[in-house]
Structures are given as C-alpha cells and as structure tokens.
Amino acid sequence: MMLTTRMYTVVLLVAILGFSSVWAYAASETKKKTEAHPEPALSWHDQYRDAIAEARRDGKMLFILFCAAGDASRCDALVDGALVEPEVRDRLKSFTRLRAPLDATILQNKERVTLIDQPAFAEMQGRQGIAIIDFAHRGAEYYETVVSCFPMLGGQPYTAQQVRVILDLPPGTLTQRTLIYAVRIHPERPASTDGRLEPSLAEEAESHSIHQASIRLQGHHNWNSRFFRINRRLSNGLVATEVCAESWPGEGLLRAAIECVRCWRLSSGHWRAVRGRHRCYGYDMRRGSNGIWYATGIFGSRQ
C-alpha cells in the first residue's frame, strides 16, 4: 500500500503521540473543512399560502418567524444567532419554514386580513416571535392548528437552548406544549417531562384544568374519586400524583405558564413532583373568565 504525505503524517503521529492526539488532529482538519465549506443558509418561504401548501403536502410542522416590518433587527439576531447553531439548524431542517412580517395579510372570505391578528395567533399578542402549526400529525385533535406561540417577551430573541426546547416539544395542543416548555426551561431542569407524554394523563390534566377554570378556583377538587379513575387508566401498576397552580390575572399564555412553574417551585411538595422523574406525565392549562390561567400536572410513577 502506498502512503500519501498526509497518510504518512497520520501514521507518524500515531506512533509518536497516540490515538487521542490523532483524533484531535483529525477533528481540527474537519473543522477547517467545515469552515472552508459552510452549509448553505436554510431556505425560508415568504408567502403564507405557499408555506401552508408545502407543510400540508409533506406532513411537516410549519415554523413561522414573525418579524417587525420596520425593524427586524431582533429577528435577524435570532436567525443569525440561535438558528444557525448546529443542533438547532439540524432540527429546523425537518420543519417547513416561513418568515413573515407582522403586517402580513392573507385572503379570508374575499377580504384581506392581518395574519397575526387572527384568533389562532392570539397568544402571539401581536409581537415578534415564533409560532408553529402542526401539519405532521394527521387525525390528531391539534392537526392543522397552531400548537406553539412564543412571542419575544421583553423584545428579547430566544436563545439557542430555548429554541432547541421549542423544536423538541412533544406533539400536543398549544396549552399543553406551552406548559411543558415552561417546565423544561426552568433553570433547575426539573425531570417530570423526561418520561413519556401519556395521552390519558394529558386528557385528565386538560379536564381538571377546565374544571378549575370553570369554577375559578385552584385546587385538587374531587381528587379522591379522580385518583382511582386515573390509576385505572394507567398500566403496569403506576400510581398517579397531581400538582395544580394558577397565574396572575391578565397574563398571556406563555407568561402564565412560566408563572405556574414558579409557583410550583415555591412549594416543596409540588416541586418534589415536578422535579421528579416519572414513567409518564400529562400537563395542561386553561384560562378562566377571571383572566387567570389554571394549570395541572399529573404523573404516573411506581410507589
């Protein structure tokens, strides 16, 4: 076998320095090649209709970046910062992508209406940020609905870590995914969402959140009867536990979800459940007529 100059160098390095040094050398060479030939920029749609058609055809999630028409500097910071981070970029490749100005319009019932002002995007609160529509889970209740609204709170772009959390959220409704996001971005990294999102527990969390919102009162109402019903829905001898919380009045969904997680952190019993590792979980929240959001988390664990 003939050795090229580079192959001879590598062999010599192995003999003198060992494999670990050669690995570092190879990694350095790979980095140089990557820097010399960077990946092309991700393509973005600029028309809502075209993006919808592609996402529906390909069965993909539609990632929408809403940007201020006159000042897109924060969106540019997000696109040129967090969204080019390799792990974020790799995840985004599986999404259909649309960049739309805040004043983008669509044709609805033969009239031009502003896209972000539509009820489906209400939790964007008219701000720049990220929204996601689910075209990937045909047959689910949330198929073809907005399942994420992440306005830039305080005008701050999302970090790469926050975007990774957004892109990794499990399939679910807008309220479920927002509360799961709030749990996952907590600085103490609670582990309750590390297990499996169990549909039956998500249904129970939804039902109890609706009940709390309807009576405008936080609490583990009817837990004695619900406990046995939930356990019957679980398998492998798992036992249910529950946490509840409420937001301040008038908060948007994202702020309310973050506030509910903050409240759980203030209670040792609740936080023990939220931070714990469980076989399965369900989270959801609903807003009452008093403007307060009521959140529920239910977990299935072995006792």
pLDDT at 51: 97
Residue 85 DSSP class: S
- Residue 21 maps to a domain: no
pLDDT at 28: 53
pLDDT at 133: 98
Residues 219 and 287 grouped into a single domain: yes
Structural domains in the chain (count): 2
- Residue 155 maps to a domain: yes
> DSSP string covering 51-78, please?
HHHHHHHHT-EEEEEEE-SS--HHHHHH
pLDDT at 17: 34
pLDDT at 6: 38
Buried b / exposed e along 15-32 (16+ C-beta atoms within 10 A): eeeeeeebeeeeeeeeee
Residues 101 and 142 grouped into a single domain: yes
- Alpha-carbon distance values, 70 to 73, 126, 188 (Å): 9, 14, 38
Q: Of 153, 168, 183, which residue sits at a domain end?
A: 168
Rounded CA-CA distance 206/59 in Å is: 26
Q: Per-residue pLDDT tens for 45-55?
A: 999 999 999 99
The answer to whether 104 and 114 have CB atoms below 8 angstroms apart is yes
For residue 41, give the nearest of 3, 108, 89, 102 by alpha carbon.
Answer: 89
- Secondary structure, 3-state, 180-192: HHHHHCCCCCCCC
Residues 209 and 107 grouped into a single domain: no
In order along the chain (303 residues), what is the average pLDDT of each group of 10 residues? 36 34 44 54 93 98 93 87 94 97 91 95 96 98 98 91 98 98 98 97 98 98 96 93 98 98 97 97 98 98 87
pLDDT at 127: 94
Burial class (CB in 10 A: 0-12, 13-18, 19+), 179: buried
Q: Which CATH number does the domain housing residue 214 bear?
A: 3.40.33.10
Collapsed DSSP state (helix, strand, coil) of residue 206: helix
pLDDT at 1: 37
- Residue 247 maps to a domain: yes
E strands in the chain = 61-67, 96-101, 105-108, 111-114, 129-134, 146-151, 196-197, 239-246, 280-287, 293-301
For strands 146-151 and 129-134, give the pairing. antiparallel
Domain interval for residue 233: 196-301
pLDDT at 110: 86
pLDDT at 177: 98
pLDDT at 41: 79
Q: Which percentage of the chain shows pLDDT scores above 90?
A: 78
- Residue 232 maps to a domain: yes
For strands 96-101 and 61-67, give the pairing. parallel
Q: Which CATH number does the domain housing residue 73 bear?
A: 3.40.30.10
